[in-house]
Homo-oligomer: A and B are copies of this chain.
Amino acid sequence: MHIPASPRWKTALVKAIDGTASPFQLASLDANSIPHVRTHLHRGFFEAKAAPHLPLIFTTTDIRTPKVTQLLAQPTVEAVYWIEGSGEQYRVVGRTSIIPAPAHPLYARFDPTHGPALTALKNEGVDWEKERTKSFDSMSAHMKATWCRPVPGTKLEGGYEEAKKWPVKLPKLGEGTDQEKHYLEIALANFALVVIDPLEVDYVEFSMYPNQRTKFKKEGESWVEEIVVP
C-alpha cells in the first residue's frame, strides 16, 4: 500500500519548533466582526497512520473562554508561527474543531468525521476522550491549576489578592489529596482540545537572502506548492 508523505511545510515546521511547545498566535472572529488574536502553545500533531499527508495541529483551551464561541461561529481561521531562531514564519489557514469533555454541551458541536484528516483518524479508532485526558495530564502542575479558576476574563472582585486563594499546582490524575482530586475534576471538565485542520500554509524564510516564500494549498488530499513574491 502506498503511504503518502508528510507535506513539506510540516517537515519544515517540525524542524523549526524542534520539539518545543512553540508559541503561535490564533486569530478568531467575534460577533461584531472584529478579528481577535491571542497566543497559544503548539502541543503537537494528530495524524492517522494511513494519512501522514493530512496532519492536524493541536493546542488546548479553557472551554469557558470567549474564543470558543468565536471559533464555533467561524471555524475557519488563521494561525501564525513566528520562529525567531530560524527566521521563519508559517501562516496556517485551517478549520478548527473544539473537543471538550463528552459531558459538556459543546461536545455535540464536534464533528469527528469533518474532512478526510479527522475521518482517517476515526477509521483508525482514535479515542478523542483518551487523547484529551492524556493531553491534560501531560501539562505542568501550574498549567493544570489554571483550568479550575473562575471563568477567564471575568472581573476579579477581590483584586490580585483574590487569586492567591486558588490552587497553584495540581498533581497527576488520580494522585493527591481529596481536595486536589476535586480540583482536578473541575480542571479536566474545563479543559478542551483545539484541533486545526490546515487548508493553506504560507511559509516565509526570512533568514534567506533573497527571502523565500512558498504557498501550500490543499486541493482534495494533495498539497500544491507555489513559489510567490515574499
Contact = CB atoms under 8 A, between A and B. Distances in A.
Given A152-B230, A229-B153, A27 B36 contact: yes
Contacts of A131: none
Contacts of A29: 29, 33-35
Given A36-B35, A37-B80, A156 B27 contact: no
B156 A229 contact: yes
Q: How many copies does the complex hold?
A: 2
Interface string A85-103: 0000101010000000000
A38 B91 contact: yes
B149 A230 contact: yes
A27 B153 CA distance: 20
A126 B160 CA distance: 40
A151 B79 contact: no
Contacts of A227: 155-156, 159-160
A184 B53 CA distance: 43
Given A149-B229, A152-B229, A155-B228, A37 B210 contact: no
Nearest to A215: B153
Interface stretch (A6-14, A110-118, A163-171): A163-171
Contacts of A151: 229
A146 interface: yes
Contacts of A146: 211, 230
Given A35-B78, A168-B209, 7 more contacts: A34-B93, A37-B91, A39-B82, A152-B228, A153-B229, A155-B227, A163-B212
16 contacts: A25-B25, A27-B35, A27-B36, A27-B37, A29-B35, A34-B74, A35-B35, A36-B91, A151-B229, A153-B215, A153-B229, A155-B228, A160-B210, A160-B227, A163-B211, A168-B209
